[in-house]
Amino acid sequence: MAMSAYVVFMRDETVDPVELEEYSAKVDASFEGHEMTLLADYGAIETLEGDEIEGAVILAFPDMDAARAWYRSPGYQATAQHRFKGARYRGFIVAGL
């Protein structure tokens, strides 16, 4: 039985707002053909431990393979270049229950 998987991005610091705007304008198209549910998108944050972050996104996928397929897809990787230039992020995929 496949377990759901969650992609989490934490934005630590914006370095180029124009690049982030470009990323935001293009990222939705990268989800075409990928089953994904947006769970959190830069909502209010209360830091419990560690360094403060500027924002966070949580995406749900059916399983780890689906999450990897989206992240590694040519469509997302082309779009992600704007995110890489626009801010310092941490990102990971975690398996759900």
Domain boundaries, the chain: 5-45+53-95
Domain 5-45+53-95 in this protein, CATH class: alpha beta
Q: What is the DSSP letter of 34?
A: S
How far is residue 16's CA from residue 61's CA, in Å, rounded to a whole number?
Answer: 29
Name the more confident of 97 and 1. 97
Q: Which residues pair with 19 in a beta bridge?
A: none
34-49 average pLDDT score: 97
Provide the angle, in degrees to the nearest 10, between the axes of the packed helices 17-27 and 74-86.
Answer: 160
- Predicted TM-score (pTM) above 0.85: yes
- Rounded CA-CA distance 97/86 in Å is 33
pLDDT at 47: 97
What tens digit of pLDDT does each residue of 25-38 get?
Answer: 999 999 999 999 99
Indicate if the pLDDT at residue 1 is higher than 70: no
Condensed to tens digits (0 to 9), the pLDDT of residues 74-95 reads 999 999 999 999 999 999 999 9
